[in-house]
A and B are shown apart, each in its own frame.
Chain A
C-alpha cells in the first residue's frame, strides 16, 4: 500500500519535471503575483496608516496567507483530468486494474501540491530576506496546529467536491467544462478566496456556516490569524471533519451511480 503511494507519487513528480519550461514559467508567474500584490499594498499604505481598519502588517499577512492557502487548497489539477478521462473513455484503463481511481488521483494531486508548496516556501523565504515585510505570525501552537489540520481537511474537501462535480461527465460528457467553470466561480467567492467572509452581512455568514465552502479558505486563515480561538477552533475543526466525511460519501455515491451508466466508449 505504501509502495503504491510512493511509486504513483514518484511518477507524478517525474511527470511534472518533464515540462521544465512550463514549470519554470509557472513559478515565475507565482513570484510575479506575489511581488505585484506586495507593492500594490505598500503603495496604498504610503499615505494612510490604516485601510478598512487594518494596519499594514495585518493586511499584508492576510493577503500573503490567502495566496498561499489558495494555492494549496484550490489547486486540483486532477479534477480536470478526471472529467476528461470519464468523457473520453480513458477511465477504462484504470477500471480494469486493482486500483482505487479516486485515491490514485488524490495521490497525484498531493504530489503536485507538495512540489508547489516547497517552491512556495522557497520563494517566500527569498522575498522575506529581500523585502523584510512586517507580518503577524500566530503566537501560540494551538493556532498553528489548528491551521495545519484545517488546511489538510480543506484539501480533502476541495478534492472531493471537485471530483464529484467532474463525475457529471458520466451523464453529460459534452457539458462538463462549463458546469465546472460556473461552479468554481461561486465556490471561490463563497470560500473566502476573493474577500474575507466577515465583511458580509451577519445572516449570510450564518447561512454559509451550513455549507462546506468557508472551511476551504476562510476558516483556516481565520484560525491562523487568531480571529477564531480556543474552543471555537475545536468546533470548526469538528465541523470541517464532518463535512469531509459527508462529501466523501456523496462522491462515492455519485461515482457508483456514474459507473452504472458508464459506456466505456471512446476509441
Chain B
C-alpha cells in the first residue's frame, strides 16, 4: 500500500495536426499545401497512484484525460517525460505488463460482433494465457456480479448497449488485471445501468484491490466512486486530491438560504452579501467563505429569521467554474 504502482513525471504529448480550410476549395488546397500546428494534448503532467486506489480523471472534452490513459496503456509514445506502471515503461509493450492491466474504452468494442460474447472471452483466455481453472472461476464470478449468465451465448450484435458494456468489462477483466483504465465506461447508458456498472466497479476495486483510473463526464460516477480526483484541463493538472477538498480550495463563496419571519428591509439585506434571489419569505445570499458564520450571526441579529442554512456550492458548479475561468 506504500509504493506507487503508477508514476508519471513531466509527461508531455504533443500532436501535430493539419488544418483544412472550409469547403471544397480548402480540400483542394490541402492536397498541395498543409498547415500544421501543435496540439498540446498533455502538457507537463505528474502524478502518482498507489495500489488499490480508485482515482477519477475529470475534465472537459479534449482536456487530455484519454491521451493520458493511452500513454499509460502503451498506445502512444509520449513527446517527453517518464512513466512507470508496475515498474514497466508502457510503450515498450512488454507482454509481462500487458498481462497485468486492461483498458476499457466506452466507445470502442473489442468483442467479436458476429459471435456470442463467450467466444471473445475464450479468445482472450488464450491470448492472455489464463489457466483453465482460473478462467472458469473468474468468469463465474464476473458473470454473477454482472448478472449476464443468460445472454452469454447470444450474438454480440443482438445485445443492448448496456448488456454489451457488461460483456466488454468481462472481456477486459478475464485475465484478472491489477490495473484497470476505464475511459467513460458509462457513456450512453441509462441511469439504472450506469448505477449497476458503477457498483460493479466499486466491488471490483474492493474485492481484488485493483488500482483503477476512471474518466467520466458524469460527475455522479466520480462522486460515487472516487475518493481522489485529478482535474485536467488543456493538458495540465488543475487539482489533485480528495474530492471534497476541491470545494474548499476553489469555492470562494458559501450560500446562505434564509427564510424570514417578519419584515425585511432589502437595503439592509444587501449589506450582508450578494443577493442571488429574493422572494419573500425566502432569500438566497452569497457571501465570502471566510465571512459565512459572521454573516449568519448578523442576519440573526438584524432580522427576524425562521430558518437559516449555510450550504457549500455544488461540486458540478465549481468544476464548471474551473473550466470556464481558464
Which residues of chain A come closer than 8 Å to B70, judged between CB atoms?
Answer: 92, 264
Which residues of A2-29 are within 8 A (CB) of B?
3-4, 6-8, 11, 14-15, 18-19
B71 to chain A, nearest CB (A): 10
Whether the Cβ atoms of A95 and B108 lie closer than 8 Å is: no
Whether the Cβ atoms of B75 and A11 lie closer than 8 Å is: no
B112 sits at the interface (CB 8 A): yes
A-B contact count (CB 8 A): 69
A245 sits at the interface (CB 8 A): no
Other-chain residue from B74, B77, B127 in contact with A99 (beta carbon distance below 8 A)? B127
Whether the Cβ atoms of B115 and A95 lie closer than 8 Å is: no
Whether the Cβ atoms of A7 and B76 lie closer than 8 Å is: no
A118 to chain B, nearest CB (A): 21
Whether the Cβ atoms of A96 and B74 lie closer than 8 Å is: yes
B98 sits at the interface (CB 8 A): yes
Which residues of chain A come closer than 8 Å to B77, judged between CB atoms?
Answer: 259-260
Which residues of chain B come closer than 8 Å to A267, judged between CB atoms?
Answer: 105, 107-108
Whether the Cβ atoms of B75 and A97 lie closer than 8 Å is: no
Which residues of chain B come closer than 8 Å to A4, judged between CB atoms?
Answer: 126-127, 129
Given the complex of chains A and B, what is the CA–CA distance between A8 and B122 in angstroms?
9
B114 sits at the interface (CB 8 A): yes
Tally chain A residues at the interface, Cβ within 8 Å.
26
Other-chain residue from A8, A92, A95 in contact with B123 (beta carbon distance below 8 A)? A8
Whether the Cβ atoms of B126 and A7 lie closer than 8 Å is: yes
Whether the Cβ atoms of A97 and B119 lie closer than 8 Å is: no
Other-chain residue from B103, B126, B155 in contact with A8 (beta carbon distance below 8 A)? B126
B137 to chain A, nearest CB (A): 19
**Known A-B contacts A7-B123, A8-B126, A264-B76; A98 and B99 likewise in contact (beta carbons under 8 Å):** yes
B73 sits at the interface (CB 8 A): yes
Given the complex of chains A and B, what is the CA–CA distance between A209 and B101 in angstroms?
48
Which residues of chain B come closer than 8 Å to A90, judged between CB atoms?
Answer: 108
Which residues of chain B come closer than 8 Å to A6, judged between CB atoms?
Answer: 126
Whether the Cβ atoms of A95 and B126 lie closer than 8 Å is: no
Given the complex of chains A and B, what is the CA–CA distance between A97 and B73 in angstroms?
10
Chain A residue, CB-CB nearest to B99: A98
Which residues of B83-134 are within 8 A (CB) of A?
93, 95, 98-99, 101-103, 105, 107-108, 110, 112, 114-115, 119, 122-129
B103 to chain A, nearest CB (A): 5
Which residues of chain B come closer than 8 Å to A264, judged between CB atoms?
Answer: 70, 75-76
B15 sits at the interface (CB 8 A): yes
Which residues of chain A come closer than 8 Å to B74, judged between CB atoms?
Answer: 95-96
Which residues of chain B come closer than 8 Å to A97, judged between CB atoms?
Answer: 98, 124, 127-128
Given the complex of chains A and B, what is the CA–CA distance between A196 and B105 in angstroms?
50
Which residues of chain B come closer than 8 Å to A8, judged between CB atoms?
Answer: 123, 126
A94 to chain B, nearest CB (A): 8
Whether the Cβ atoms of B76 and A262 lie closer than 8 Å is: yes
22 A-B pairs within 8 Å (CB atoms) are namely: A6-B126, A7-B125, A7-B126, A8-B126, A11-B122, A11-B123, A14-B119, A18-B114, A18-B115, A19-B114, A90-B108, A92-B73, A92-B105, A95-B73, A95-B93, A96-B74, A96-B102, A98-B95, A98-B127, A98-B129, A263-B15, A267-B108
Given contacts A92-B73, A99-B127, 5 further A-B contacts (CB under 8 A): A3-B126, A7-B122, A8-B123, A15-B112, A92-B105
Residues of B at the A interface (CB closer than 8 Å) are 15, 70, 73-77, 93, 95, 98-99, 101-103, 105, 107-108, 110, 112, 114-115, 119, 122-129, 155
